[in-house]
Amino acid sequence: MRATGIGAVVIGLALSASLSASAKDIFVGHIADYTGATSTVGTVYGQGVSDALTWIDAHGGINGKPIKFETVDYSYKAPQAISTYKSWKREDPAAIQGWGTADTEALVQFVARDEIPYFSASYSGHLTDPTGQNPETKAPAPYNFFYGPSYSDGCRALVKWAADDWKNKGGEGQAKYVHMGDNHPYPNAPKAACEAYAKELGMEVLSPIVFSLAPGDFKAQCLTLKDSGANYAFLANTGGSVISLLKSCATVGVDVQFLANVWGYDGNVMDAAGDAADGVVWVVGAAPWGSDVPGMATIRDISKVSDPTGEQPRRLHYMRGVCSVFFMRDAMVWADENGGITGPNIKAAMEQMTDHVPAELEGVCLPSGWTPTDHRGTTTVMLYRGHVSDDQKDMEHIATVEIERRPEWLGM
Return the SS3 of 4.
strand
Q: Tell me, yes or no, whether 373 lies in a domain.
A: no
pLDDT mean across residues, the chain: 94
- Do residue 218 and residue 139 come from a single domain? no
Domain span holding position 168: 151-284+379-409
- Do residue 247 and residue 324 come from a single domain? no
Q: pLDDT tens digits for 58-105?
A: 999 999 999 999 999 999 999 999 999 999 999 999 999 999 999 999
Q: Tell me, yes or no, whether 78 lies in a domain.
A: yes
- Do residue 268 and residue 306 come from a single domain? no
Cα–Cα distance measured from residue 264 to residue 239, given in angstroms and rounded to the nearest whole number: 4
Contact assessment for residue 140 and residue 130, using Cβ atoms and an 8 Å cutoff: yes
Give the mean pLDDT of 337-356: 98
Amino acid at 2: R
The total of other beta-carbon atoms located within 10 Å of residue 86's CB is 11
Alpha helices in 89-238 (DSSP H): 101-114, 151-168, 185-188, 191-200, 219-228
Residue 9 in this model has a pLDDT that exceeds 70: no
Contact assessment for residue 327 and residue 365, using Cβ atoms and an 8 Å cutoff: yes
Distances (CA, A) of 95 to 19, 35, 132, 328: 15, 23, 22, 8
Domain count, the chain: 2
Give the distance, in angstroms, between the CA of residue 208 and the centroid of all CA atoms in the same chain.
22
Give the mean pLDDT of 192-221: 97
pLDDT of residue 391: 83
Assign residue 142 the CATH number of its domain. 3.40.50.2300
Give the mean pLDDT of 300-314: 95
- Do residue 9 and residue 137 come from a single domain? yes
Cα atoms found within 13 Å of the Cα of residue 221, Cβ hemisphere only: 24
- Do residue 298 and residue 217 come from a single domain? no
Cα–Cα distance measured from residue 358 to residue 320, given in angstroms and rounded to the nearest whole number: 13
Cα–Cα distance measured from residue 402 to residue 381, given in angstroms and rounded to the nearest whole number: 6
pLDDT of residue 135: 87
Cβ neighbors of 149 (< 8 A, separation 6 or more) are: 123, 157, 262, 283, 285, 376, 377, 378, 379, 380, 381, 403
**Which sign, positive or negative, has the C-alpha torsion 54, 59, 60, 61?**
negative
Cα–Cα distance measured from residue 52 to residue 301, given in angstroms and rounded to the nearest whole number: 10
145 phi/psi in degrees, rounded to 5: -140, 150
pTM over 0.75: yes
- Do residue 326 and residue 310 come from a single domain? yes
pLDDT of residue 17: 34
Cα–Cα distance measured from residue 350 to residue 372, given in angstroms and rounded to the nearest whole number: 9
- Do residue 115 and residue 235 come from a single domain? no
Q: Tell me, yes or no, whether 366 lies in a domain.
A: no
Q: Tell me, yes or no, whether 295 lies in a domain.
A: yes
- Do residue 320 and residue 303 come from a single domain? yes
Position 46 confidence tier, pLDDT thresholds 50, 70, 90: very high
Q: Tell me, yes or no, whether 124 lies in a domain.
A: yes
Beta strand ranges found along 304-375 (DSSP E): none
Of 129, 124, 137, 144, which is closest to residue 194 (Cα–Cα)? 124
Position 1 confidence tier, pLDDT thresholds 50, 70, 90: very low
pLDDT of residue 271: 95
- Do residue 113 and residue 206 come from a single domain? no
Q: pLDDT tens digits for 236-274?
A: 999 999 999 999 999 999 999 999 999 999 999 999 999
- Do residue 34 and residue 80 come from a single domain? yes
Contact assessment for residue 50 and residue 3, using Cβ atoms and an 8 Å cutoff: yes
- Compute the residue count for the chain: 412
- Do residue 240 and residue 383 come from a single domain? yes
Of 118, 186, 125, 122, which is closest to residue 320 (Cα–Cα)? 122
Q: Tell me, yes or no, whether 371 lies in a domain.
A: no
Give the distance, in angstroms, between the CA of residue 202 and the centroid of all CA atoms in the same chain.
29
- Do residue 400 and residue 255 come from a single domain? yes
Q: Tell me, yes or no, whether 344 lies in a domain.
A: yes
Cβ neighbors of 358 (< 8 A, separation 6 or more) are: 295, 323, 326, 327, 329, 330, 365
**Which sign, positive or negative, has the C-alpha torsion 410, 349, 123, 360?**
positive
Cα–Cα distance measured from residue 86 to residue 247, given in angstroms and rounded to the nearest whole number: 41
Q: Tell me, yes or no, whether 369 lies in a domain.
A: no
